[in-house]
Amino acid sequence: MQAAMETLEWPGVVSKPEFVAREHGKTNGERTSRVRDACSFELWTSHFTGDCVLLFQSRDERIRGSSHIFAHLRKFRLCMHVGRGDAASKTEAMYFPPPRTAYEAANTSHFYNDGTGFIDFFEKIKYLGSILRYSLTSDADVDKRIASETVAFGALKNIFTDKYLSEELKGQVYKALILPTLL
């Protein structure tokens, strides 16, 4: 995946998004008396083993860029899993609306990729164990983690309430089974 993404040359119709960390020299929520230079950076891909996240600035660029990447990955004998017929796509697209813009106002219908299959849009996706939502809030991820911790504590309820087990043993069980899930 690394080699494929490093050798990828973008067609002229697709631009890499630029992110600005500070607007007008001020970080969001920062005191106005503390003004610094704007900090901008390019981030267009994040990849980890067989997974990859690509960022595009518009739906048209997403369609053109996806077709370009689909063809480029074939050169490396890599596969982008697109949907065909009744089979759903494993490749997922997500739209992040601008501030104060309704998600529903955008065209989030699936789009066809290179004439071979389609890619669906989702309101949330799972990437590297975290849930990403179009609203960029962490509610879904936090809810998932709380639910998994509730299940973990529920499974150990009998151990923690057993009056014949020592506090030291209960502490060791907590350190071994509960603490690692919190990290």
Whether 58 and 44 share a structural domain? yes
Model pLDDT, residue 164: 92
> What pairing do the DSSP bridges indicate for beta strands 92-93 and 117-121?
parallel
| Closest C-alpha to 59, from 117, 121, 10, 114 | 121
Mean pLDDT confidence for 84-108: 81
The domain containing residue 160 runs over which residues? Answer: 139-182
d(CA 94, CA 59): 10
Residues 4/76, Cβ–Cβ less than 8 Å: yes
Q: What pLDDT score was predicted for residue 49?
A: 63
What's this model's pTM, rounded to 2 decimal places? Answer: 0.58
Tokens in use for 60?
């048209």
Nearest alpha-carbon partner for 128 in 141, 110, 147, 146: 141
Do 24 and 104 share a domain, yes or no?
A: yes
Q: What is the pLDDT of residue 29?
A: 47
Same-domain pairing of 102 and 152: no
Residue 176 vs residue 43, higher pLDDT: 176
Residue 51, both tokens: 């997974």
**79 and 27 fall within a common domain:** yes
Asked if 157 and 96 sit in the same domain, the reply is no
Q: Is 15 left (phi over 0), alpha (psi -120 to 50) or beta?
A: beta
Residues 59 and 25 in one domain: yes
Same domain, 53 and 126: yes
One domain for residues 10 and 32: yes
When divided into structural domains, the chain yields a total of 2
Q: Is the pLDDT of residue 168 over 90?
A: yes
Q: Answer with the residue of higher pLDDT: 30 or 112.
A: 112
Of 86 and 111, the structure prediction assigns the larger pLDDT to 111
Name which residue leads in pLDDT, 182 or 84: 84
* Cα distance from N-terminal residue to C-terminal residue, the chain: 28
- 166 falls in which pLDDT band (50, 70, 90)? very high
What Cα–Cα distance (Å) separates residue 38 from each residue in 20, 99, 107, 124? 7, 20, 32, 30
pLDDT tens digits, one per residue of 15-68? 666 655 555 555 454 444 544 555 565 656 666 666 777 777 778 888 888 888
